[in-house]
C-alpha cells in the first residue's frame, strides 16, 4: 500500500462497462516526511474520498478485487481514508488538524 493525497478527480463518461459508477481520483503520492512527491496515479475510489484527503492506495491484484469479488480492470484503488499518520512517535498527518487549517 501507499499513502497519497487526493489532488483531484478524473471524469470518464465512456469506459469499460464494469467500471460504470466507479469514481476515479487523481492521487499524489506522499513520502515518509509527509512531503508530496512528483508521482501521481489514477485510482478507483470505493470509499468516498475527497480532494485534499490523505488516503491508502493499493495496487495490482488487490485493487482489481475491490468490488465484491468481481475483478475490475484497474491498477490502483483507494481503500481507506486516513485519520492520522505517526512516524517515530511524531504526528505526520492528522485529518482533524487539516480540517481546521
Share of the chain above pLDDT 90, in %: 67
Listed range (20-24, 36-40, 59-63) with the worst mean pLDDT: 59-63
User: For 53-65, how does the pLDDT look when each residue is reduced to its tens digit (9 = 90+)?
Assistant: 999 999 987 777 7
37 pLDDT higher than 70:
yes
Share of the chain above pLDDT 70, in %: 91
For β-strands 54-59 and 76-81, DSSP reports them as antiparallel
C-alpha dist (Å) from residue 50 to 17, 60, 61: 24, 22, 24
CA 18 to chain centre: 20
* Residue 44 and residue 58 in contact, taking contact as beta carbons nearer than 8 Å: no
pLDDT of amino acid 95: 93
Amino acid at each position: 500500500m501507499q499513502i497519497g493525497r487526493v489532488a483531484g478527480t478524473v471524469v470518464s463518461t465512456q469506459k469499460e462497462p464494469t467500471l460504470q459508477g466507479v469514481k476515479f481520483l487523481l492521487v499524489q503520492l506522499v513520502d515518509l516526511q509527509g512531503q508530496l512527491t512528483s508521482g501521481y496515479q489514477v485510482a478507483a475510489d470505493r470509499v468516498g474520498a475527497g480532494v485534499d484527503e490523505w488516503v491508502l492506495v493499493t495496487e495490482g491484484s488487490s485493487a482489481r478485487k475491490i468490488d465484491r469479488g468481481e475483478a475490475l480492470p484497474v491498477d490502483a484503488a483507494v481503500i481507506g481514508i486516513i485519520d492520522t499518520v505517526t512516524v517515530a512517535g511524531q504526528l505526520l498527518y492528522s485529518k482533524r488538524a487539516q480540517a481546521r487549517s
